[in-house]
Amino acid sequence: MTRTNDSLSPRRAIVIGGSMSGLFAASLLRKAGWQTDVYERSDVELRGRGAGIVTHPDLIQSLERSGAELDDLGVTVHERVALDSDGNVIERLPYEQIVTSWDRLHQIMRATIPRGTHHLGYSLKAIEQDPESVTAIFENGERVTGDLLVGADGFRSVVRNMFAPEIQPIYAGYVVWRGLADEGLISREAHEAVFEKFAFFLPPQNKNIGYPIAGPNNDLRPGHRRWNWVWYRAVARAELDDMLVDEQGVHHAVSIPPPKVRSDVIARLRKDARDFLPPPMLEILSRVSKPFFTPIYDLLVDRMAYGRVVLIGDAAAVARPHVGMGIAKAGTDAEVLADSIASAPDLLAGLARFERERLPIAGKAVAQGRCLGEYMLDHASPGTRADDAHWREFHSIPGILKHTASSAFLRSA
């Protein structure tokens, strides 16, 4: 691929962020003929930054196009079940899906990035651009100039804050607790009840779910896997502010690193669980060494392209995790970006084409997340909404089983 100014050198993309969005962008742009370099602010490789991930056809396509190795991707579940408070199955939905882990996806995508093009310890300080180029200026004093800068640095994006500082995450009114339990520690009764399934417990204003994923080092042998345990809980803003304070009294804005969650906050979770969760879900929680929580936010930009700078993935839009499409959306963003600038007469036209296609999709994903999140905060008697088909769908157990972690909404009218 050549520049539009007739230079024979390949065009260069500067990718800010070494998580999944950045890896997809770097890999897919490189396959389209670009020279790509990834700049990650962490000074160590990203590992253990997430737990379970649900795959979709969209995600598989992005992985395939990136050249990622898909062998042993994860665990295949064949049905979804809803439990009552005693642990009995009250609803079933046949639904085959591969469930994997963030670590596994990062591992196989990281392997697509050539040695010497992935740089750690680079914190972005400023961006300069003119009609012919864009330059990233880093805290270490280094300047890197290219044709395109991709902001793939997550929902707290430094790149986004430079161009749209008014767009900030909006707290949704609840948090998600997560944890991993080793399969070998789970009792036979709990294992038989839920382990090979995508399981749900759905009392009003709560969603407790879980599914199996690989063990450490992608170990898929029965007995060596893990259970991805998740509990969405409503939390008032004042209580959240307290939960975001660590053991040393430091308040963390937006979110708190998992190791810093206070022991008394975890103890309160476990106490509440004893009085609330069905036996299989409670027993599995007891095998989680240190659960952690993440506040749920909404975020959606009104633009994705700013001259030669483009936002993708969570830097542009955060859909609530009920949708289960954060990584899939990042992968498709990167695909469409590479395709759009390859087929357009010039770079800016290609970025405009990318924005026209992906911004509505981002909005649709955010809206779907909000629909699924309604269950957490709005649970009036169904009789009061009997004529509201939308309300009935997203406040029913069959509806939640059907729509959670599904990409079908992207193909609906």
Which pLDDT tens digit goes with each residue over 290-306?
A: 999 999 999 999 999 99
Q: pLDDT value at position 3?
A: 36
Q: Say if residue 413's pLDDT is above 90.
A: no
CA distance 291 to 285: 8
DSSP string, 127-181: EEEETTEEEEEETTS-EEEESEEEE---TT-HHHHHH-TT---EEEEEEEEEEEE
DSSP string, 298-325: EEE-S-SEETTEEE-GGGTEE--TTS--
Kindly report the CATH number that applies to the domain delimited by 12-66+105-168+300-378. 3.50.50.60
Delimit the domains of the chain by residue range.
Answer: 12-66+105-168+300-378, 75-98+169-297
Which is more confidently placed, 7 or 200? 200
| Contact indicator for 64, 106 with CB cutoff of 8 Å | no
Structure token pair of residue 397: 């157990």
The pTM for the full model equals: 0.91
| Contact indicator for 87, 42 with CB cutoff of 8 Å | no
Q: pLDDT value at position 217?
A: 86
Q: pLDDT value at position 139?
A: 96
Stretch 33-51: mean pLDDT:
84
* Lowest mean pLDDT across 7-21, 78-92, 219-233, 370-384: 370-384
CA distance 277 to 86: 8
Task: Report the side by side order of strands in the sheet with 226-234.
Answer: 52-54, 89-101, 75-83, 198-201, 206-213, 226-234, 170-182, 292-300, 317-318
Q: pLDDT value at position 411?
A: 81
Residues 6+ apart with CB under 8 A from 153: 16, 17, 19, 21, 22, 41, 124, 159, 160, 315
Stretch 346-362: mean pLDDT:
96
Binned at pLDDT 50, 70 and 90, residue 4 comes out as very low
Q: pLDDT value at position 379?
A: 56
Amino acid at 31: K
What's the CA dihedral at 7, 9, 15, 20 to 10 degrees? 130
- Per CATH, is 75-98+169-297 categorized as 3.40.50.1820? no
Q: What does pLDDT average to over the chain?
A: 92
Q: Say if residue 384's pLDDT is above 80.
A: no
| Contact indicator for 38, 94 with CB cutoff of 8 Å | no
Q: Which is nearest to 120 in space by CA: 17, 13, 257?
A: 17
Q: What percent of the chain has pLDDT over 90?
A: 83
Beta-carbon count within 10 A of 240 CB: 16
CA distance 356 to 343: 14
Element (H, E) at 213: strand 206-213
Stretch 244-272: mean pLDDT:
95
Q: Is 402 helix (H, G, I), strand (E, B) or coil?
A: helix
